[in-house]
Protein backbone atom coordinates (compact mmCIF):
# COMPACT_ATOMS: atom_id res chain seq x y z
CA UNK A 1 0.00 0.00 0.00
CA UNK A 2 2.75 2.38 -0.98
CA UNK A 3 1.48 5.91 -1.26
CA UNK A 4 4.56 7.52 -2.72
CA UNK A 5 5.93 6.55 -6.07
CA UNK A 6 9.60 6.09 -5.45
CA UNK A 7 11.24 5.29 -8.79
CA UNK A 8 14.29 3.08 -9.29
CA UNK A 9 16.33 6.27 -9.43
CA UNK A 10 15.01 7.32 -6.02
CA UNK A 11 15.82 3.93 -4.58
CA UNK A 12 19.33 3.94 -6.02
CA UNK A 13 19.86 7.42 -4.60
CA UNK A 14 18.80 6.13 -1.18
CA UNK A 15 21.19 3.20 -1.38
CA UNK A 16 24.08 5.47 -2.38
CA UNK A 17 23.22 7.78 0.51
CA UNK A 18 23.10 4.88 2.97
CA UNK A 19 26.55 3.80 1.87
CA UNK A 20 27.80 7.39 2.26
CA UNK A 21 26.33 7.48 5.78
CA UNK A 22 28.09 4.22 6.69
CA UNK A 23 31.38 5.61 5.51
CA UNK A 24 31.26 9.25 6.50
CA UNK A 25 28.63 9.89 9.16
CA UNK A 26 28.36 6.93 11.51
CA UNK A 27 32.10 6.59 12.24
CA UNK A 28 32.31 10.30 13.13
CA UNK A 29 29.03 10.97 14.88
CA UNK A 30 30.28 10.48 18.44
CA UNK A 31 33.19 12.81 17.87
CA UNK A 32 30.89 15.47 16.45
CA UNK A 33 28.66 15.13 19.51
CA UNK A 34 31.70 15.80 21.71
CA UNK A 35 32.91 18.67 19.53
CA UNK A 36 29.43 20.21 19.45
CA UNK A 37 29.90 20.87 15.74
CA UNK A 38 30.35 19.06 12.43
CA UNK A 39 33.45 19.99 10.43
CA UNK A 40 32.99 21.86 7.18
CA UNK A 41 34.79 19.04 5.36
CA UNK A 42 31.88 16.69 6.13
CA UNK A 43 29.46 19.15 4.50
CA UNK A 44 31.71 19.37 1.47
CA UNK A 45 31.95 15.59 1.15
CA UNK A 46 28.19 15.38 1.29
CA UNK A 47 27.94 18.05 -1.37
CA UNK A 48 30.54 16.45 -3.62
CA UNK A 49 28.66 13.17 -3.55
CA UNK A 50 25.46 14.91 -4.56
CA UNK A 51 23.43 14.76 -1.36
CA UNK A 52 22.98 18.49 -0.71
CA UNK A 53 20.29 20.63 -2.31
CA UNK A 54 18.65 17.95 -4.49
CA UNK A 55 16.03 20.37 -5.78
CA UNK A 56 18.33 23.21 -6.89
CA UNK A 57 17.96 23.53 -10.69
CA UNK A 58 20.75 22.37 -12.97
CA UNK A 59 21.40 25.86 -14.29
CA UNK A 60 22.64 26.83 -10.82
CA UNK A 61 24.83 23.80 -10.30
CA UNK A 62 22.19 21.62 -8.66
CA UNK A 63 20.93 18.20 -9.68
CA UNK A 64 17.43 19.52 -10.38
CA UNK A 65 15.62 16.64 -8.74
CA UNK A 66 12.19 16.47 -7.13
CA UNK A 67 11.40 16.93 -3.43
CA UNK A 68 11.19 13.19 -2.80
CA UNK A 69 14.99 13.13 -3.02
CA UNK A 70 15.05 15.72 -0.24
CA UNK A 71 12.64 13.60 1.75
CA UNK A 72 14.99 10.63 1.36
CA UNK A 73 17.93 12.66 2.68
CA UNK A 74 16.04 13.93 5.75
CA UNK A 75 14.70 10.45 6.44
CA UNK A 76 18.05 8.67 6.22
CA UNK A 77 20.00 11.38 8.04
CA UNK A 78 17.54 11.17 10.94
CA UNK A 79 18.08 7.43 11.13
CA UNK A 80 21.79 7.97 11.77
CA UNK A 81 20.82 9.25 15.23
CA UNK A 82 23.16 12.23 14.78
CA UNK A 83 21.56 15.59 14.27
CA UNK A 84 24.62 17.73 13.56
CA UNK A 85 24.89 17.62 9.80
CA UNK A 86 21.62 19.43 9.21
CA UNK A 87 21.33 18.73 5.50
CA UNK A 88 17.56 19.16 5.58
CA UNK A 89 17.82 22.61 7.17
CA UNK A 90 20.33 23.75 4.58
CA UNK A 91 18.94 22.08 1.45
CA UNK A 92 15.22 22.24 2.01
CA UNK A 93 14.64 25.12 4.40
CA UNK A 94 17.22 27.86 3.80
CA UNK A 95 18.45 27.38 0.23
CA UNK A 96 14.86 27.38 -1.15
CA UNK A 97 14.57 31.04 -0.07
CA UNK A 98 17.31 31.86 -2.58
CA UNK A 99 15.86 29.56 -5.22
CA UNK A 100 12.36 31.04 -4.88
CA UNK A 101 13.04 34.69 -4.11
CA UNK A 102 16.64 35.37 -5.13
CA UNK A 103 17.62 37.58 -8.05
CA UNK A 104 19.36 35.96 -10.99
CA UNK A 105 22.61 37.46 -9.73
CA UNK A 106 22.11 36.08 -6.21
CA UNK A 107 21.26 32.63 -7.52
CA UNK A 108 24.34 32.51 -9.74
CA UNK A 109 26.53 33.78 -6.93
CA UNK A 110 25.39 31.56 -4.07
CA UNK A 111 23.58 28.44 -5.24
CA UNK A 112 26.53 26.52 -6.75
CA UNK A 113 28.40 26.82 -3.44
CA UNK A 114 25.32 25.70 -1.51
CA UNK A 115 25.17 22.57 -3.65
CA UNK A 116 28.86 21.68 -3.15
CA UNK A 117 28.76 22.37 0.57
CA UNK A 118 31.25 25.22 0.31
CA UNK A 119 28.50 27.54 1.48
CA UNK A 120 26.60 26.30 4.55
CA UNK A 121 23.48 28.31 5.28
CA UNK A 122 21.29 29.38 8.18
CA UNK A 123 18.12 31.38 8.59
CA UNK A 124 17.77 33.92 11.39
CA UNK A 125 14.23 34.66 12.37
CA UNK A 126 13.98 34.14 16.14
CA UNK A 127 15.03 36.86 18.57
CA UNK A 128 15.32 36.80 22.36
CA UNK A 129 11.92 38.50 22.62
CA UNK A 130 10.35 37.09 19.46
CA UNK A 131 9.87 33.34 19.41
CA UNK A 132 6.48 32.07 18.30
CA UNK A 133 5.52 35.70 17.79
CA UNK A 134 7.83 36.23 14.79
CA UNK A 135 6.31 39.55 13.80
CA UNK A 136 7.34 41.20 17.04
CA UNK A 137 11.00 41.14 15.98
CA UNK A 138 13.05 44.20 16.81
CA UNK A 139 16.02 43.86 14.52
CA UNK A 140 16.17 46.83 12.17
CA UNK A 141 17.29 47.32 8.59
CA UNK A 142 17.73 50.89 7.37
CA UNK A 143 18.76 51.90 3.90
CA UNK A 144 21.71 54.23 3.60
CA UNK A 145 22.72 55.08 0.03
CA UNK A 146 23.56 51.82 -1.74
CA UNK A 147 23.71 49.92 1.53
CA UNK A 148 21.40 48.48 4.12
CA UNK A 149 22.46 48.80 7.76
CA UNK A 150 21.43 45.96 10.07
CA UNK A 151 21.16 46.22 13.84
CA UNK A 152 19.86 43.62 16.26
CA UNK A 153 20.21 40.21 17.87
CA UNK A 154 19.04 36.81 16.67
CA UNK A 155 19.03 33.69 18.83
CA UNK A 156 18.72 29.89 18.68
CA UNK A 157 20.17 29.96 15.16
CA UNK A 158 20.92 26.44 13.95
CA UNK A 159 24.21 26.30 12.01
CA UNK A 160 24.86 29.65 13.69
CA UNK A 161 28.57 28.99 14.14
CA UNK A 162 29.37 27.11 10.96
CA UNK A 163 27.26 29.05 8.47
CA UNK A 164 28.85 31.02 5.64
CA UNK A 165 25.62 32.69 4.67
CA UNK A 166 22.65 33.63 6.78
CA UNK A 167 19.26 34.83 5.68
CA UNK A 168 18.18 37.46 8.18
CA UNK A 169 14.75 38.88 8.81
CA UNK A 170 14.68 42.51 9.92
CA UNK A 171 12.20 45.33 9.89
CA UNK A 172 12.22 48.83 8.54
CA UNK A 173 11.74 51.03 11.63
CA UNK A 174 9.93 53.61 9.48
CA UNK A 175 7.12 51.24 8.53
CA UNK A 176 4.40 51.04 11.14
CA UNK A 177 2.64 47.82 10.15
CA UNK A 178 4.77 45.12 11.73
CA UNK A 179 4.05 42.56 9.04
CA UNK A 180 4.87 44.71 6.02
CA UNK A 181 7.91 46.19 7.78
CA UNK A 182 9.84 42.94 7.49
CA UNK A 183 12.28 42.20 4.69
CA UNK A 184 14.86 39.45 4.20
CA UNK A 185 18.58 39.99 3.72
CA UNK A 186 21.54 37.84 2.78
CA UNK A 187 24.47 38.33 5.11
CA UNK A 188 27.77 36.69 4.30
CA UNK A 189 30.43 35.48 6.71
CA UNK A 190 33.06 38.13 7.32
CA UNK A 191 30.77 41.11 6.82
CA UNK A 192 31.90 43.79 9.28
CA UNK A 193 29.40 44.19 12.10
CA UNK A 194 28.20 40.57 11.89
CA UNK A 195 29.40 38.65 14.95
CA UNK A 196 28.56 35.24 16.29
CA UNK A 197 27.70 35.05 19.95
CA UNK A 198 27.81 32.16 22.35
CA UNK A 199 27.73 28.63 21.06
CA UNK A 200 24.63 27.74 23.08
CA UNK A 201 24.59 24.61 25.24
CA UNK A 202 21.49 22.53 24.81
CA UNK A 203 19.68 19.54 26.24
CA UNK A 204 20.31 17.63 23.02
CA UNK A 205 21.36 17.94 19.41
CA UNK A 206 24.89 18.31 20.70
CA UNK A 207 26.63 17.87 17.37
CA UNK A 208 24.65 20.75 15.92
CA UNK A 209 25.86 24.27 16.56
CA UNK A 210 23.24 26.69 17.81
CA UNK A 211 24.20 30.29 18.42
CA UNK A 212 23.22 33.87 18.95
CA UNK A 213 24.06 36.24 16.10
CA UNK A 214 24.81 39.91 16.63
CA UNK A 215 24.49 42.62 14.04
CA UNK A 216 25.79 46.05 14.90
CA UNK A 217 25.87 48.60 12.12
CA UNK A 218 26.32 45.65 9.80
CA UNK A 219 26.43 47.09 6.30
CA UNK A 220 25.42 44.99 3.33
CA UNK A 221 24.87 46.10 -0.27
CA UNK A 222 21.28 46.57 -1.41
CA UNK A 223 21.93 43.77 -3.88
CA UNK A 224 21.76 41.46 -0.87
CA UNK A 225 18.10 42.21 -0.22
CA UNK A 226 16.28 38.94 -0.82
CA UNK A 227 12.96 39.15 -2.65
CA UNK A 228 10.64 42.12 -2.48
CA UNK A 229 11.03 44.73 0.19
CA UNK A 230 8.32 44.40 2.82
CA UNK A 231 7.47 40.85 1.76
CA UNK A 232 9.68 39.26 4.42
CA UNK A 233 6.90 38.07 6.67
CA UNK A 234 4.99 36.51 3.77
CA UNK A 235 8.14 34.79 2.49
CA UNK A 236 8.87 33.42 5.96
CA UNK A 237 5.37 32.08 6.37
CA UNK A 238 5.47 30.53 2.91
CA UNK A 239 8.79 28.76 3.53
CA UNK A 240 7.86 27.70 7.04
CA UNK A 241 5.48 25.31 5.35
CA UNK A 242 8.25 23.18 3.87
CA UNK A 243 10.27 23.56 7.07
CA UNK A 244 7.43 21.84 8.90
CA UNK A 245 7.19 19.13 6.27
CA UNK A 246 10.91 18.46 6.78
CA UNK A 247 10.36 18.40 10.54
CA UNK A 248 7.59 15.83 10.14
CA UNK A 249 9.76 13.67 7.86
CA UNK A 250 12.42 13.63 10.58
CA UNK A 251 10.15 12.90 13.53
CA UNK A 252 8.33 10.10 11.73
CA UNK A 253 11.69 8.59 10.75
CA UNK A 254 12.90 9.02 14.34
CA UNK A 255 9.83 7.18 15.64
CA UNK A 256 10.32 4.34 13.17
CA UNK A 257 14.00 4.04 14.03
CA UNK A 258 13.36 4.00 17.79
CA UNK A 259 10.64 1.43 17.40
CA UNK A 260 12.93 -0.84 15.41
CA UNK A 261 15.62 -0.48 18.05
CA UNK A 262 13.18 -1.25 20.85
CA UNK A 263 11.74 -4.33 19.16
CA UNK A 264 15.25 -5.67 18.73
CA UNK A 265 16.18 -4.84 22.33
CA UNK A 266 13.05 -6.40 23.81
CA UNK A 267 13.50 -9.60 21.82
CA UNK A 268 17.09 -9.98 22.90
CA UNK A 269 16.93 -8.92 26.53
CA UNK A 270 16.23 -11.71 28.95
CA UNK A 271 14.68 -10.78 32.28
CA UNK A 272 14.08 -13.52 34.82
CA UNK A 273 14.55 -16.17 32.15
CA UNK A 274 12.25 -14.73 29.49
CA UNK A 275 12.73 -12.18 26.71
CA UNK A 276 11.17 -8.84 27.59
CA UNK A 277 9.14 -9.11 24.40
CA UNK A 278 7.18 -11.98 25.92
CA UNK A 279 5.68 -9.74 28.58
CA UNK A 280 2.14 -8.75 27.71
CA UNK A 281 2.57 -5.13 28.78
CA UNK A 282 5.66 -4.82 26.59
CA UNK A 283 3.84 -6.34 23.63
CA UNK A 284 0.92 -3.96 24.04
CA UNK A 285 3.18 -0.94 24.45
CA UNK A 286 5.06 -1.78 21.26
CA UNK A 287 1.80 -2.57 19.47
CA UNK A 288 0.37 0.82 20.42
CA UNK A 289 3.49 2.69 19.43
CA UNK A 290 3.71 0.80 16.14
CA UNK A 291 0.09 1.70 15.39
CA UNK A 292 0.61 5.37 16.05
CA UNK A 293 3.84 5.39 14.08
CA UNK A 294 2.19 3.73 11.11
CA UNK A 295 -0.70 6.17 11.20
CA UNK A 296 1.73 9.05 11.23
CA UNK A 297 3.70 7.48 8.37
CA UNK A 298 0.65 7.02 6.18
CA UNK A 299 -0.53 10.54 6.94
CA UNK A 300 2.90 11.97 6.18
CA UNK A 301 3.32 10.09 2.90
CA UNK A 302 -0.08 11.28 1.81
CA UNK A 303 0.94 14.80 2.78
CA UNK A 304 4.17 14.45 0.79
CA UNK A 305 2.13 13.41 -2.22
CA UNK A 306 0.17 16.66 -1.96
CA UNK A 307 3.21 18.77 -1.11
CA UNK A 308 5.24 17.53 -4.09
CA UNK A 309 2.23 18.07 -6.36
CA UNK A 310 2.08 21.68 -5.19
CA UNK A 311 -1.32 21.34 -3.56
CA UNK A 312 -2.32 23.47 -0.58
CA UNK A 313 -1.73 21.21 2.38
CA UNK A 314 -1.29 23.78 5.14
CA UNK A 315 -3.49 22.25 7.82
CA UNK A 316 -2.28 18.72 7.02
CA UNK A 317 1.32 19.87 7.40
CA UNK A 318 0.61 21.36 10.83
CA UNK A 319 -1.19 18.16 11.84
CA UNK A 320 1.67 15.97 10.71
CA UNK A 321 4.35 18.17 12.27
CA UNK A 322 2.73 18.32 15.66
CA UNK A 323 1.38 14.77 15.84
CA UNK A 324 4.64 13.13 14.84
CA UNK A 325 6.86 15.29 17.05
CA UNK A 326 4.60 14.65 20.04
CA UNK A 327 4.62 10.93 19.23
CA UNK A 328 8.40 10.80 18.93
CA UNK A 329 8.75 12.45 22.34
CA UNK A 330 6.20 10.20 24.01
CA UNK A 331 7.88 7.23 22.42
CA UNK A 332 11.41 8.09 23.56
CA UNK A 333 10.11 8.60 27.09
CA UNK A 334 8.14 5.36 27.10
CA UNK A 335 10.81 3.22 25.47
CA UNK A 336 13.32 4.32 28.08
CA UNK A 337 11.06 2.55 30.59
CA UNK A 338 11.45 -0.69 28.68
CA UNK A 339 15.21 -0.26 28.43
CA UNK A 340 15.40 0.06 32.21
CA UNK A 341 18.75 0.92 33.76
CA UNK A 342 20.53 0.60 30.43
CA UNK A 343 18.35 3.36 28.99
CA UNK A 344 19.74 5.82 31.51
CA UNK A 345 23.26 5.55 30.18
CA UNK A 346 24.40 8.06 27.62
CA UNK A 347 25.94 5.07 25.88
CA UNK A 348 22.43 3.86 25.05
CA UNK A 349 21.21 5.22 21.70
CA UNK A 350 17.79 5.95 23.14
CA UNK A 351 19.23 8.38 25.65
CA UNK A 352 20.40 10.62 22.85
CA UNK A 353 17.07 10.38 21.04
CA UNK A 354 15.28 11.36 24.24
CA UNK A 355 17.44 14.47 24.58
CA UNK A 356 17.52 15.38 20.89
CA UNK A 357 13.81 15.04 20.25
CA UNK A 358 12.61 17.35 23.01
CA UNK A 359 13.03 20.41 20.78
CA UNK A 360 10.96 18.97 17.92
CA UNK A 361 7.64 20.03 19.46
CA UNK A 362 9.07 23.54 19.77
CA UNK A 363 11.18 24.38 16.72
CA UNK A 364 9.71 25.32 13.36
CA UNK A 365 6.56 26.36 15.23
CA UNK A 366 5.44 24.91 18.55
CA UNK A 367 2.67 22.37 18.89
CA UNK A 368 0.53 25.25 20.18
CA UNK A 369 1.20 27.30 17.04
CA UNK A 370 0.36 24.24 14.91
CA UNK A 371 -2.97 23.84 16.69
CA UNK A 372 -3.68 27.55 16.29
CA UNK A 373 -3.17 27.30 12.53
CA UNK A 374 -5.23 24.11 12.30
CA UNK A 375 -8.04 25.91 14.13
CA UNK A 376 -7.74 28.81 11.67
CA UNK A 377 -8.07 26.35 8.80
CA UNK A 378 -11.45 25.40 10.22
CA UNK A 379 -12.38 29.08 10.36
CA UNK A 380 -12.39 29.03 14.16
Buried/exposed code over 33-69 (b: 16+ C-beta within 10 A; e: otherwise):
beebbbeeebbebbbeebbbbbbbeeebbbbebebbb
CB of 265 to other proteins, least distance (A): 10
Stretch binding other proteins (CB under 8 A), from 56-64, 81-89, 292-300, 362-370: 362-370
Counting contacts by CB under 8 A, is residue 123 touching other proteins?
no
Say if residue 208 is exposed, middle or buried (CB neighbours under 10 Å; 0-12, 13-18, 19+).
Answer: buried
Counting contacts by CB under 8 A, is residue 362 touching other proteins?
yes
Pick from 140, 238, 241, 367 the residue near other proteins by CB under 8 A: 367
Counting contacts by CB under 8 A, is residue 199 touching other proteins?
no
Compute the distance between CA of residue 25 and CA of residue 47 in angstroms, rounded to an integer. 13
The residues with which 187 forms a beta bridge, in sequence order, are: 166
The residues with which 270 forms a beta bridge, in sequence order, are: 275
Q: Could you give the angle at the alpha carbon of 56 between the alpha carbons of 52 and 57, nearest 5°? A: 140
What is the contact mask toward other proteins in residues 67 to 96, using x (rule: CB under 8 A)? ------------------------------
243 noted as active-site residue: yes
CB of 341 to other proteins, least distance (A): 4
Kindly state the number of chain residues that form the binding site for other proteins, as judged by CB under 8 A: 47
Pick from 54, 358, 370, 373 the residue near other proteins by CB under 8 A: 358
Which pairing describes strands 274-275 and 270-271: parallel, antiparallel, or unpaired?
antiparallel
Quick one: DSSP state of residue 223? G
Pick from 79, 301, 355, 377 the residue near other proteins by CB under 8 A: 355
Could you say which residues in the range 247-286 bind other proteins, by CB under 8 A? 269-273, 276, 279, 281-282
Compute the distance between CA of residue 138 and CA of residue 182 in angstroms, rounded to an integer. 10
Buried/exposed code over 273-302 (b: 16+ C-beta within 10 A; e: otherwise):
eeebbeeeebeebbeebbebbeebbebbbe
Task: Pick between residue 304 and residue 359 the one whose CB is nearest to other proteins.
Answer: 359
The residues with which 140 forms a beta bridge, in sequence order, are: 151, 171
Counting contacts by CB under 8 A, is residue 333 touching other proteins?
yes
Q: How far apart are the first and last CA of the chain?
A: 35
Counting contacts by CB under 8 A, is residue 238 touching other proteins?
no
Buried/exposed code over 152-185 (b: 16+ C-beta within 10 A; e: otherwise):
bbbbbbbbbbbbbbbbbbbbbeeeeeeebbbbbb
Pick from 55, 343, 370, 373 the residue near other proteins by CB under 8 A: 343
Dihedrals phi, psi of 55, to nearest 5 degrees: -90, 0
Which of 362, 366, 337, 365 is CA-nearest to residue 350? 337
Task: Pick between residue 55 and residue 158 the one whose CB is nearest to other proteins.
Answer: 158
Which of 236, 247, 257 is CA-nearest to residue 353? 257
Pick from 300, 336, 370, 373 the residue near other proteins by CB under 8 A: 336
Pick from 63, 342, 374, 377 the residue near other proteins by CB under 8 A: 342
Pick from 132, 217, 291, 376 the residue near other proteins by CB under 8 A: 132
Stretch binding other proteins (CB under 8 A), from 10-18, 25-33, 214-222, 357-365: 357-365
Could you say which residues in the range 280-299 bind other proteins, by CB under 8 A? 281-282
Counting contacts by CB under 8 A, is residue 153 touching other proteins?
no
State the residues that interact with other proteins by CB under 8 A.
126, 129-133, 136, 155-156, 200-204, 269-273, 276, 279, 281-282, 329, 333, 336-338, 340-347, 351, 354-355, 358-359, 361-363, 366-368
Residues marked active site are found at 243
Amino acid sequence: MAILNYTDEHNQFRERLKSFIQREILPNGEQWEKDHIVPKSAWQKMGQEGFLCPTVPKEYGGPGLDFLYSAIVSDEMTRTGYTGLTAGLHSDIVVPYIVSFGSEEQKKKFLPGCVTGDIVTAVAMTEPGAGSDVASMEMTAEEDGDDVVLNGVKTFISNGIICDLVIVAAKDPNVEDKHTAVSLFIVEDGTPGFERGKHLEKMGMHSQDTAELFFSNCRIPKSNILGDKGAGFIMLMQKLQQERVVSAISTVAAAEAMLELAIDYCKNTIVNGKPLSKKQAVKFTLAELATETKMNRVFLDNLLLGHTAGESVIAETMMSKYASSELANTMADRLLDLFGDFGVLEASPLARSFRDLRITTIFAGTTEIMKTIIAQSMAL
